Amino acid sequence: MASENTRAVGVDIGGTGIKAAIVDLATGTLRSDRVKVATPQGAEPKDVLAAVLQVLEKLDVLEDAIPLGVAFPAIIKSGRTLSAANVSKNWVGFEAEKFFEDGLGRDIHFANDADVAGVAEMRYGAARSVRGLTILTTLGTGIGTAMIYNGVLIPNSELGHLQRAEHASDFEAYAAYSAMERDALDWEAWSERLQHYYSHLEFLFTPDLFIVGGGVSKHADSFLPLLNLNTPIVPAIHRNNAGIIGAAALALD
């Protein structure tokens, strides 16, 4: 069993679900079952807080002093949420970190969900010891991104919202996994959209490595081989647990 000073709880708040687990920070592995509840309809702050309390109660850490990290789908600066992707617009400009700390009765580390996934892959996964620029993308309801340069996170990159040339929509609307489901695309048709997106990222940033996360990464063999890129592209090792693991890892920082 991991010792107390190498354990932390990670909570990953998403547009459709809120997941949490206890993490062994020495190994980057889950030390408990992963618990999950649905994100409340509308995702208003008070309702999301109530759902977070619910997952902490399920983990039996509600009264525990174990460090806690929380990941959230927004641009986050100085504890304030500056955007709202797939959650209530009331989060925009909201003192979210203080709100959670007051509601949970404890200090937390609060960060962007894609950024914490990047931290998980940097410390325990596919980006470990990689030099140069790594860009992690999470393909799900939207497209989250994390940029890591020589082991240092560049926060709040939001590269899913890059605009497509001569089109009104951004790449998130065009190429997220939700677009595949919405437009009834097969793997080949969806990979053509991903090709446009990753080629654009290559042109802008000349990265050394792409990592693909999110739940769809478990099907990486169905679409990554269809992409023609100059940059190596690999699935995230921690897949859909990366947000939990990264949030917990940042809890002690």
Cα–Cα distance measured from residue 77 to residue 152, given in angstroms and rounded to the nearest whole number: 17
User: Are 115 and 105 contacting, i.e. CB atoms less than 8 angstroms apart?
Assistant: no
Q: What is the pLDDT of residues 139-150, one digit of tens each?
A: 988 899 999 999
Q: What is the pLDDT of residues 187-227, one digit of tens each?
A: 999 999 999 999 999 999 999 999 999 889 999 999 999 99
Percent of all residues in the chain with a pLDDT value above 70, rounded to a whole number: 98
Q: How far is CA 43 from CA 13, 47, 104, in A?
A: 10, 6, 17
Residue 84 above 90 pLDDT?
Answer: no
Global model pTM greater than 0.75: yes
Neighbours of 104 (CB within 10 A): 17
Where does the pLDDT of residue 4 fall: very low under 50, low under 70, confident under 90, or very high at 90 and above? low
Cα–Cα distance measured from residue 183 to residue 147, given in angstroms and rounded to the nearest whole number: 29
Q: What is the average pLDDT score of the chain?
A: 93
129 Rama sector, left if φ>0, alpha if ψ -120 to 50, beta otherwise: left
Cα–Cα distance measured from residue 43 to residue 106, given in angstroms and rounded to the nearest whole number: 22
Cα–Cα distance measured from residue 139 to residue 179, given in angstroms and rounded to the nearest whole number: 10
Domains of the chain: 4-107 (3.30.420.40), 129-241 (3.30.420.40)
